Amino acid sequence: MAWLSLKVLLVGVSFLGCLYPLVDFFFSGETRGQKPNFVIILADDMGWGDLGTNWAETKDTVNLDKMAAEGMRFVDFHAAASTCSPSRASLLTGRLGLRNGVTHNFAVTSVGGLPLNETTLAEVLREAGYITGMIGKWHLGHHSSYHPNFRGFDYYFGIPYSHDMGCTDTPGYNHPPCPACPRGDRPPRSPERDCHTDVALPLYENLNIVEQPVNLSGLAQKYAEKATQFIQRASTSRRPFLLYVGLAHMHVPFTRTPLAAGPQDGTPYASGLREMDSLVGHIKDRVDRTAKENTFLWFTGDNGPWAQKCELAGSVGPFTGLWQAQQGGSPAKQTTWEGGHRVPAVAYWPGRVPINVTSTALLSVLDIFPTVVALAGAGLPPDRRFDGLDASNVLFGRSQTGHRGSSFVCDLVKKDSLSLSRVGLSQVLFHPNSGAAGQYGALQTVRLEHYKAFYITGCPPCGLQTRIKWEENRNHSEGKRRASVFSSRDSTLLG
């Protein structure tokens, strides 16, 4: 009983930001057994063409390219939305924004976050005996119960939202250029509308703000140190662990730091890409030294590049959205064109994931939740529908089939939501509007095998009107272009 009281006391102290590693890693009588560890790394605003092994013009991702050669690279992998908060909510819930309630980005002034009735991946794994940690950008609510420590994560170190959503003393490269935080009685410079000067960007460790404003020049180094410390301590504890790392890269603003060492080509974006690649390399090296055979590392991105940032935006590779570009629009972030949601993805697990394999399976960030839950031997929450699938067979080289077509039966369509029953073994992949046009979260595009359609809805139940637009796609292996269209009579919606 005295031991239990001491543990409760220390947990209470931990929420004040003290002794937290001691609580989680020392007081554990559980052993890891055969349960695997998971490290999920999510890049921010990284284009499909920013990964060197995807696009020969990119030379700045040496560590990621090595990881792809030692594991599996996915060339048809998609974010669950084309902007930050909805994509992250889908990763942690396995559900589209229409289901989990997150259809747009949270702001500095937002008082809510990911709805509290949603069950996160961290909560499921912690219930299964895992130590859970989150490092980096959260962006799913930063007040009271929406904080990561109350959403299943034992340990948190990072920023509550994007690092351009608060002023810093080291503002870095951005369009438009933003000022540093005002000092003393000096009045703030009249900023551009995209600059945030009202609140200095905070850095949290658990519930404590440990730095404000954040020194962006040292943020990547801090993330690398905290991630490697968490992996080391969790491995020593002999308990399985989940580490979710939400990188600041490749979101603006950019800054040069020691982690970005290497050949310099003079562009802030290339330097930032090298810094991100080096950070990922540090995390992988720690995994290799401590728990290589029993740790699954999954790298991907939250959405495509932010085209409006001009030379500070990444590469969509061949997915230039010819039709959209000809109309004067962007084919990247916030849109449902391929460049907006097709993202780099690499899986690494020595001895389990086959090496140097390129997978063409149609997969999504939505699949991370059910796949990790299955590999952990845990169970999906029984009271809800999921939009992802267990991709274990693809990861272990037993299949090249991800999302694919099946039959659907419409049973209910309401004004703001729709529910359909699935009849079949698998599912098509839907992409929600993320701010480019129409209602936030509305399902705007549907992908079936090699075909994709853009559509609008507005019919009575079980009816669907489809507006067909052509998106130019590129065959990865042959480099041939083809225009793909999806027949309106085959169009389906998922509830």
- Active site residue ranges: 84, 139
Question: Given the DSSP bridges, would you call strands 357-359 and 72-74 parallel, antiparallel or unpaired?
Answer: parallel
Report in angstroms the alpha-carbon separations of 172 from 199, 235, 267: 17, 36, 13
Contact (Cβ atoms closer than 8 angstroms) between residue 341 and residue 371: no
- Nearest CA to 64 among 74, 79, 53? 53
Contact (Cβ atoms closer than 8 angstroms) between residue 301 and residue 273: no
- Nearest CA to 39 among 250, 364, 282? 282
Burial degree of 425 (CB within 10 A; 0-12, 13-18, 19+): exposed
Q: Which residues lie closer than 8 Å to 441 by C-beta, 6 or more apart?
A: 86, 96, 97, 98, 103, 104, 432, 433
φ, ψ dihedrals at 194, nearest 5°: -85, 0
The CA-based diameter of the chain, rounded to the nearest angstrom, is 71
- Nearest CA to 163 among 80, 335, 268, 45? 45
In whole angstroms, give the CA distance from residue 273 to residue 250: 7
Angle at 152 between CA 150 and CA 156, to 5 degrees: 75
In whole angstroms, give the CA distance from residue 378 to residue 397: 22
In whole angstroms, give the CA distance from residue 455 to residue 447: 11
Three-state DSSP class for 97?
helix
Number of neighbouring beta carbons within 10 Å of residue 475: 12
Looking at residue 142, its amino acid is H
In whole angstroms, give the CA distance from residue 492 to residue 449: 13
